[in-house]
Structure 1
Amino acid sequence: MVHTSFRAVRPVEGGPLGLISALREALGPDGTLVLPSGSGNDDEPFDPRTTPVRDDLGIVPELFWRQPGVLRGLHHFDGFAAVGPRAAEIVNAPLKLPPSAPGSPISVVHDLDGQVLLLGVGHDSNTMLHLAELMGGAPYRVPHHYTVLQDGKPIRIDYLENDHCCEGFSKMDAWLQAAGLQSEGRVGHAQARLARAQDLVRIAVKHLATDPLVFLHPVETGCEECGVARASVRG
């Protein structure tokens, strides 16, 4: 599973498609490449054949799902596309709420002993850690919704998600480095981090057991998103 910023990596021969080609070549024919592919519009029904990815994911995921042979999940909040031998198994995982719950596509990557590559981004972009929150008992839940078509009419579905600003996920760097479980280096002009999904989740769950709010900003920082998450616990 790759989270990337092409702006941080560039220049790359062949542009974003060249980067996708390089990732596939690095994995080889037996590897499965997975990228986020979610939509940022919760008020419009999601069509995996036409709906673009949300803007903050960048150009690489947007081009990736459009490539021949790439499979894209049916649910915008599952938000993954994949190519390779295990692609169908990952993207066709059933709908789960919250979207990173056990049994979801990201959970399948974890269960298959997949790796997470952060290329030009930090752990604040690492969606695998939302699975860790749920497995570790993080108590916060923030209202979200999505829209589906039912009998040709848009229907809003409300749910609660373990959401916050995610900057606290950056603590994973020190935790993984201390355990020798994160490989780091340069790819192009970007800093790269590589770790096993199961190591990420296991280390995060250990810290959540000590402090279930460990990934939230302290109250005094005034972080609005983390404040909403904290308020949901008090509620």
Structure 2
Amino acid sequence: MPPVLATPASLAADLRGLGVRQGGVLLVHSSFRAVRPVEGGPRGLIEGLLQAIGPRGTLVMPSWAGDDDAVFDPAASPVTPDLGVVAEAFRHLPGVLRADHPASFAALGPRAAEVLRDQLPLPPHIPASPVGRVHDLDGQVLLLGVCHDANSTVHLAELMAGVPYGIPHHVTVLRDGRPVRVDYLENDHCCERFALLDAPLRTAGRQAEGRVGAAEARLVASRDVVAAALRLLIADPLVFLHGPEDDCEECDAARASVAG
């Protein structure tokens, strides 16, 4: 039996049933492939999200380009394919603001400028970043067809906890009209073990789960994500890294940065 075609209205009803707040700030990580079929494609999904939060709500999505050697242009740089077609479609919508730095997010709604107000945040998920501002504003995080390994708010918790690992990264910015490379250390790893957050959030009743269109969705307050992650990190600062026996190249590099 073919999947039912979702409409913006049906998606909005699914989202409200999940617990999306009207008038709130909603940070979305999504996989359109998991949600489809949707009337209107990715823009139909975005319309459903906007209907769910209402005109007083603010919708936020990641919007970085992923090319560290190119100067980021908020008007022209495409969203990295890793973020999916919904994030790319969102940046093109009328009225959407996009941060003008390489660690970019995009936002639409009354709090958009507030979410995006910071200068270049390095590492990208410090409290003075779009993810940090969603946390400050008591926003919600929607994982739509994706799991916590896509949840950038967990990186905020890592930085708040002062995790000891950091991988060299760089971005390219314009200074006095010339491209300049800026090096920094990022709390980078494979992120698969962010899935450890499912159990404590469910047990505490802090994570709503259900279907939105054809996708499995998780909805949780940004502050609850951070609180749950901090509890795990206080007990073990390396809790989100695979062990040496797991043969994970990215986590091995993060562990090596601690030893180094």
1:2, 1:116 within 8 Å by CA — same for their partners in 2? yes
The whole-number CA distance in structure 2 between the counterparts of 1:32 and 1:96 is: 21
TM-score between the two structures when normalised by the length of structure 1? 0.98
Give the secondary-structure state (helix, strand or coil) at the position aligned to 2:123. Answer: coil
Greater shift, 18-27 or 147-156, is seen at 147-156
Q: CA deviation at 1:102?
A: 1.4
RMSD of the alignment, in Å?
0.8
2:99 maps to what in 1? Answer: 73
Give aligned-pair identity as a percent: 62
Instruction: Give the alignment of 1:138-217 within 5 angstroms.
Output: 138-217=163-242
Deviation for aligned residue 1:166? 0.5
Measure how far apart 1:151 and its partner are.
3.5
How many aligned residue pairs are there?
A: 234
Give 3-state SS (helix, strand or coil) of 2:141's partner.
strand
Range that drifts further, 170-179 or 2-11: 170-179
Moved over 4 A (4+): none
The one-letter code sitting in structure 1 at the alignment partner of 2:133 is V
CA distance in 1, matches of 2:117, 2:74: 12
Q: 1:29 aligns with which of 52, 55, 66?
A: 55
Residue segments in structure 1 that go unaligned for 5+ positions in a row: none
Q: Is the 8 A contact 1:138 1:213 kept in 2?
A: yes
Q: How far apart are 1:137 and its partner, in Å?
A: 2.1
3-state SS in 1 of match to 2:179: strand
Query: What amino acid maps onto 2:109 in structure 1?
Result: G
Q: Equivalents in 2 of 1:95, 1:44: separation in Å?
A: 15
Residues 106-163 of structure 1 show CA distances to partners (whole Å, capped at 9, x for unaligned) of 1010010000000000000000000000112211100000011233332111000111
The separation in 2 between residues aligned to 1:95 and 1:50, in whole angstroms, is 18
Identify if the C-alpha distance between structure 1 residues 19 and 129 changes in structure 2 by more than 3 Å, giving closer, same or farther. Answer: same
**Who is 2:42 aligned against?**
16
Query: 1:97, CA displacement in angstroms?
Result: 1.4
Work out the CA distance in 2 between the residues paired with 1:83 and 1:118.
Answer: 18
CA distance in 1, matches of 2:176, 2:107: 30
2:112 paired residue among 87, 106, 114: 87
C-alpha distance in 1 between matches for 2:119 and 2:157: 19
Unaligned runs of 5+ in 2: 1-26
Structure 2 equivalent of residue 6 of structure 1: 32
Matched, 1:106 2:131: yes
2:73 paired residue number: 47
What TM-score, normalized to structure 2?
0.88
What secondary structure sits across from 1:129 in the alignment? Answer: helix
In structure 2, distance between residues paired with 1:35 and 1:212 = 28
How far apart, CA to CA, are the structure 1 residues paired with 2:159 and 2:184?
Answer: 15
